[in-house]
Amino acid sequence: MTLDSRLRDVERRLAEACARSGRKREDVTVIAVTKYVSAQTAAEAVGAGVRQIGENRWPDAKDKWELLKGQAVFHYIGSLQTNKAKDVVGRFDYIHSLDRLPLAEAIQKKASALGIEVPCLIQVNVSGEESKHGLPPEQVPEFLGGLRAFPAVKPIGLMTMAPHEEDPERTRPVFRGLRELRDELNRIGLTDVPLRELSMGMSNDFEVAVEEGATWVRLGTVLVGKENREG
Ligand SMILES: *Cc1c(COP(=O)(O)O)cnc(C)c1O
């Protein structure tokens, strides 16, 4: 499949998922996850109209960032070690994997040195799988309280990863759980600005995520493909 045909196919599936769930297509933004492909392929995707790029390690993202900064919005979607925050802050426009206060502190430190604010999503482990990063849902309210000590760290939404399921329908409770958590947090009013974004859904399950309210889907394989790369 060519890049163009994959882009068209994803677009059609997104439009159908939006139609099924009474959502507007423009309320869902696609992040092209380029971690499996070369900088050249990432550049082709940008040439074909992709405007959001997701990467999950700085060393792998570096080439793409240097080539494409200014042409695309960069999302850091992988788990982030505290001592690596300084590589990411100032380069990536959004961090999707905030899940502990020491990391918030490291983001704050670099952001205040640069005089910027960093919009972040709080990663939540809705499924309870041990292998998954993220806060248990019940700890998110307290975590949001703790974030007030770090004014350059701006929570704008929630992110989750669903377990891989053969039948994507089985991921629905996870995505619904994240939406309900966001709505509940907004009802309590723990943030100055209501949390808006729901970063959820990947190649295997994005249609279900859209039906459950995803505002950002993170698409690698299905959108930009997978190349054999070393490392
Ligand atoms: C790799 C990755 C994706 C994209 O994975 P695909 O299944 O190829 O779409 C999405 N989110 C995160 C956090 C990832 O690490």
Contacts of 127 by beta carbon, 8 Å cutoff, 6+ apart = 160, 162, 163, 174
How much is the mean pLDDT over the chain?
96
Distance (Å, rounded) from C-alpha 155 to C-alpha 153?
Answer: 6
Cα 159 to middle of ligand 1, angstroms: 12
Contacts of 7 by beta carbon, 8 Å cutoff, 6+ apart = 45, 48, 49, 50, 223
What is the per-residue pLDDT for 102? Answer: 98
pLDDT at residue 231 tops 60: no
Cα 84 to middle of ligand 1, angstroms: 20
Distance (Å, rounded) from C-alpha 212 to C-alpha 194?
Answer: 18
If one counts every other C-beta atom within 10 angstroms of the C-beta of residue 95, the result is 25
Query: What is the chain's Cα-based Rg?
Result: 17
What is the per-residue pLDDT for 75? Answer: 98
Distance (Å, rounded) from C-alpha 112 to C-alpha 39?
Answer: 30
Point out the ligand 1 atom lying closest to the alpha carbon of residue 97: 13
Q: 40 φ, ψ to 5°?
A: -65, -45
Point out the ligand 1 atom lying closest to the alpha carbon of residue 206: 9
pLDDT at residue 228 tops 80: no
Cα 161 to middle of ligand 1, angstroms: 9
What is the per-residue pLDDT for 186? Answer: 98
**In this structure, which residue's CA is closest to atom 10 in ligand 1?**
218
Of residues 74 and 133, more confidence is placed in 74
Distance (Å, rounded) from C-alpha 183 to C-alpha 23?
Answer: 17
The tokens describing 72, both together, are 């695309």
Residues constituting the chain = 231
Point out the ligand 1 atom lying closest to the alpha carbon of residue 77: 13
Distance (Å, rounded) from C-alpha 166 to C-alpha 188?
Answer: 36
The tokens describing 200, both together, are 């959820």
Distance (Å, rounded) from C-alpha 49 to C-alpha 117?
Answer: 27
Q: At 229, is the pLDDT very low, low, confident or very high (cuts 50, 70, 90)?
A: low
Lookup result for tokens 């139609």: 19
Could you report the per-residue pLDDT of 23-64, keeping only the tens digit for each? Answer: 999 999 999 999 999 999 999 999 999 999 999 999 999 999
Q: At 132, is the pLDDT very low, low, confident or very high (cuts 50, 70, 90)?
A: confident
What is the average per-residue pLDDT within 114-139?
Answer: 94
Of residues 128 and 102, more confidence is placed in 102
Determine which of 32-36, 71-75, 183-187, 227-231 has the lowest per-residue pLDDT on average: 227-231
Cα 189 to middle of ligand 1, angstroms: 30
Query: Bridge-partner residues for 17, per DSSP?
Result: none
Domains of the chain: 3-224 (3.20.20.10)
What is the average per-residue pLDDT within 127-134?
Answer: 87
The tokens describing 11, both together, are 């677009």
* Residue to mutate, 6, 200, 202, ligand 1, most ligand atoms under 8 Å from C-beta: 202
Identity of the amino acid at 215: T
The tokens describing 145, both together, are 């309280």
* Residue to mutate, 14, 30, 37, 56, ligand 1, most ligand atoms under 8 Å from C-beta: 56
**In this structure, which residue's CA is closest to atom 15 in ligand 1?**
78
Cα 219 to middle of ligand 1, angstroms: 6
Q: 43 φ, ψ to 5°?
A: -65, -35
Could you report the per-residue pLDDT of 157-212, keeping only the tens digit for each? Answer: 999 999 999 999 999 999 999 999 999 999 999 999 999 999 999 999 999 999 99
What is the average per-residue pLDDT within 3-7?
Answer: 95
CB under 6 Å to ligand 1: residues? Answer: 33, 35, 56, 77-78, 161, 202-204, 218-222
